[in-house]
Amino acid sequence: MPHWTPPVPASCASQPHSFAYESTKTRWPKILTGIVDELSKLNGQLSVQEEKDKLKEGKELIEKLSGLIYEIKTDKPILPLEDTGYPNDFEEYNQELERDSTMGQTWFSSTWLFAECYLYRRLRGFFATTTHWNQFDPFASQKLSTWKSSSSSVLQLSRTLNELVKKGKVTDQDELHRDWRIMMETMLWGNATDLSLLTSLTHEQIQELQSVERGREFTLRDDLEMAWEHVKDFKGERIDIVLDNSGFELFTDLVLADFLLSLTPFASQIVIHPKLIPWFVSDVQPHDFLILLDTLEDPQFFPSLTEDDISTLQELVTRWRGFISDGKFKLSVPASLKMGQSSVEGQEDRDKDIKMAEFWTSPSPFCDLPLVAPELLEDLQRSKLVIFKGDLNYRKLCSDAWWTPSGSFEDALGPLKGKITLLSLRTLKADTVVGLPEGKAEELDAKEKDWRVSGKYAVVSFSKRV
Ligand code: F6P
Ligand code: MG
């Protein structure tokens, strides 16, 4: 079976005025420079005598990062990846680099989706091959500080959910329908948190984007009712969430998972899929999931918590930990998995799960799922609904191409169409968009130049397995 190629051009940084161009030229060097600054700070805290090996590696990392910034800024050819240990996907990246003549050229002429995935994979390789920085997540401190600043929304949602849970399962179908919609919308707008946007927005602006009250007028396509028609008769099903960002967005994902398990008859298990390496700055890795639970439970983590706040959060986490031990909240890979591990001692039966999870940090768009990851596809087919969170997952669903905005979302899925029942919840942070009402894109083009990338608008797209 050959790879599927969309009938329209892919996003590419050589296209003037595109977000791909802006990102490649400005945002990526800024993100990488942020890591250099962080490393310089950490190196400065190391003892020259006692930690000289770590310091040496720290300096080498800075050199490699500076070299990478130079490669991007001067539009050098994209170099083949070297074997840097697990994930063992360097050959796949290199094949992809060679596969298409429009790709594999330089940082600006390659397709944007490939170049951006490659960027984060190459970055991981730098750290993976060190002794002392092997488990270093270059985005950890940003993730944590943004999460710390989310306390008021976290408390509000926790309180509401705890109260609902105390009342027990919702039996009235209209009430269930309404609550379900609100939960899905909360989860959707949670996606306005993307730390790679911190290069241009403040924490306050990001929080403003996250607010659900901003309303439905910003949802340019809303398939929630179609999804409801599919979900409303579920009885104890498996539902999957292909995660996006950690911190507040992950929190809203778990709130939805809790809602589905505690208050509805729909689900008996929620499987969540993290990434195995630091990815697009803020994406969830297994350790981020553990950090979220630990910080919710730590009375010192969020500023100025009252006794009442502390017990609200404790009640929530106790319930969530219970779900984890019952297997109702299930991470698709062992939660204790470290970066670079392909197996966890005592949990060897899950090696296959770890192998399958590699796909999420591969350069492949999701149209390639049937071709390159048939086992993962088969696993997802055991789920009654797969929820894809966020912008990058949407770009991958639609092969990050310049579709006619009013074209068919389902057709943009290519060979994935009809293979699984999926719901994509995405705030728009890149140019790709498809499935809008006729004339909508033109209307927005005329009044708001950056509507495709500002994070202010959203699309909710549903597609059913046939
Ligand atoms: O906005 C820039 C960007 O990094 C895009 O490159 C990418 O698609 C997106 O943000 C990541 O957003 P999300 O975290 O929603 O997938
Ligand atoms: Mg992300």
**Interval between CA 281 and ligand 1 midpoint (Å):** 9
User: Measured from the CB, is residue 280 less than 6 Å from ligand 1?
Assistant: yes
Kindly report the backbone phi and psi dihedral angles of residue 214, in degrees, each rounded to the nearest multiple of 5, phi listed first: -55, -20
User: Measured from the CB, is residue 459 less than 6 Å from ligand 1?
Assistant: no
**Interval between CA 393 and ligand 2 midpoint (Å):** 8
Give me the mean pLDDT over the 374-401 stretch.
Answer: 98
| Of 392, 396, 426, best ligand 1 pocket probe by most atoms within 8 Å of the beta carbon | 392
Band of the pLDDT at 190, cuts 50, 70, 90? confident
In this structure, are residues 330 and 270 in contact, taking their beta carbons and an 8 Å threshold? yes
User: Measured from the CB, is residue 96 less than 6 Å from ligand 1?
Assistant: no
DSSP assignment string, 291-359: HHHHHHH-TTTSTT--HHHHHHHHHHHHHHHHHHHTTSEEESS-TTPPTT-S--TT-GGGHHHHHHHGG
Among residues 192, 189, 191, which one has the least CA distance to residue 212? Answer: 189
Q: In what order do the strands lie in the sheet with 422-427?
A: 219-222, 458-463, 422-427, 385-389, 237-242, 267-273, 329-331
Calpha distance 355→139 (Å, rounded): 24
| pLDDT for the residue numbered 50 | 83
User: Measured from the CB, is residue 191 less than 6 Å from ligand 1?
Assistant: yes
pLDDT tens, residue by residue, 337-347: 999 999 999 99
pLDDT tens, residue by residue, 390-445: 999 999 999 999 999 999 999 999 999 999 999 999 999 999 999 999 999 999 99
User: Measured from the CB, is residue 119 less than 6 Å from ligand 1?
Assistant: no
Peptide bond into 87 cis (omega under 30): yes
Residue nearest (by alpha carbon) to ligand 1 atom 7? 392
| pLDDT for the residue numbered 197 | 41
Give me the mean pLDDT over the 88-107 stretch.
Answer: 83
**Interval between CA 229 and ligand 2 midpoint (Å):** 29
For β-strands 329-331 and 422-427, DSSP reports them as: unpaired
Atom of ligand 1 nearest to the CA of 191: 15
Buried b vs exposed e over 136-154: b needs ≥16 C-beta within 10 Å? bbbbbebbbebbebbbebb
| pLDDT for the residue numbered 206 | 45
Q: How many CB atoms lie within 10 A of CB 314?
A: 14
**Interval between CA 325 and ligand 1 midpoint (Å):** 32
Residue with tokens 């161009």: 21
Whether pLDDT at 199 is above 50: no
| pLDDT for the residue numbered 201 | 44
Mean pLDDT rounded to a whole number for the chain: 93
DSSP assignment string, 207-235: HHHH-GGG-GGGEEEE-HHHHHHHHTT--
Q: Which amino acid is at 46?
A: L
Residue nearest (by alpha carbon) to ligand 1 atom 10? 429
H helices of 74-150, in order, are 90-99, 112-128, 140-148
Residue nearest (by alpha carbon) to ligand 1 atom 8? 392
Give me the mean pLDDT over the 125-135 stretch.
Answer: 97
Residue with tokens 């008996």: 268
User: Measured from the CB, is residue 430 less than 6 Å from ligand 1?
Assistant: yes
Token reading at 83? 């074997």
Band of the pLDDT at 196, cuts 50, 70, 90? very low
Q: How many CB atoms lie within 10 A of CB 230?
A: 16
Band of the pLDDT at 104, cuts 50, 70, 90? low
